[in-house]
Structure 1
């Protein structure tokens, strides 16, 4: 069985002409995983860049909310394709349902034209917690709806982010009884520096409270996000006993699309991608 190192060779080859999603998502050469576009509650698209002219096949085995250490696991979606659109291998399925909080563990497969060997990556995972809403999508989800879907991991201070691509974003953090005030400091596409004073792209001392959540909604064009961007953030605030809250820096990537229920996008003509089942290796 080939290693992840062998599969990564695909990612450092000659970059071809890419457009649309491929151009935006994979503009960072360090992005080695696929791009997922999920429509809640049903349907998923998977994109992977063809950066090596010798790569003739891309495949993926997806396991939803499963422990890969257990025996007799079953693949929720196992497909591969040789079709390339706009510089990406693309797979589309309407059989896999994904909802808030689901974790997709996956293994990527690939094949070079010069070899019959199927290259297999190590297992990776992605959690569908944050929403990225395409710019051409009109979402009717209320703020209260997002608040109810926010992470329940209060002690981790892990908020739910909703990015309206190019137009604004929102942050929802469930309100714990022990938390009096919650805020945030954040940097766009940058890291926090130790010991140095920095100008934050976002410095909110106190979020508003609404329907059981601390909420911050930004609609001004001062801080816009697109595919491939990320936000490095620290949750701040105070507990009811007066203790300060300041988490370690964390990152949220505007990478995978997670389109919520009630979000309607204009219909676009899509090319049919032939995907065939593959046997587990």
Structure 2
């Protein structure tokens, strides 16, 4: 697996490379803006089904932010929602086969993590002043200053690498599975295709399993029947280069590595952002 490709370079400030990550991020941003305009227009007192679903989602988001950060921090909800949707769809866009997942690039997750750190520092400075913020690095004792600094540095690093590692790791594993299945397809067809008799027997077994599975409604027999049937047909036709085993199996793995993992990582990143920013913005009476 290689890094994001550079499509072209803008000749400004020494050259600004336009990579796959930038294009994917821009596409996600445009899609979210268009979706927001379409879902937020023509609001009525007697809501339609679309409006009910949108209002329910927005209410859930506001409730999650208020429960995690406190009601006084409810104004952070649009930012948290934008961060969550950008992260989730930035991971899902890689499933199109056209664009690369923007979250599979470390520069994306590092930028988001640094934004969280800057927001925390800005809220602390606003609440306590610059001297009060700097004083937090030396409490409770001066000896703790190095550890406090390490903690502030480790926070964005851990957030960035956690998100990036899960998405990029899933992409690498999926690529390895595709490569392994393509090799297995060629090896199996090459082995079966050496004998016409063996190919015919495999074809016959597949037909029997498929018919029996359809009659008795057995999913396992249907699957093995289709695999044996396709293997026999391709072997008889001499099409040993068809990677037919790649059909279906990677899709099951994609449900976890792409769909489930992408959604979970977006939620975890958003929750960590809410926790860190919420701690830096306590209620007015506590501040």
Larger strand fraction of residues:
1
TM-score after normalising by structure 2: 0.18
Computing the radius of gyration from Cα coordinates, the structure with the larger value is 2
TM-score after normalising by structure 1: 0.18
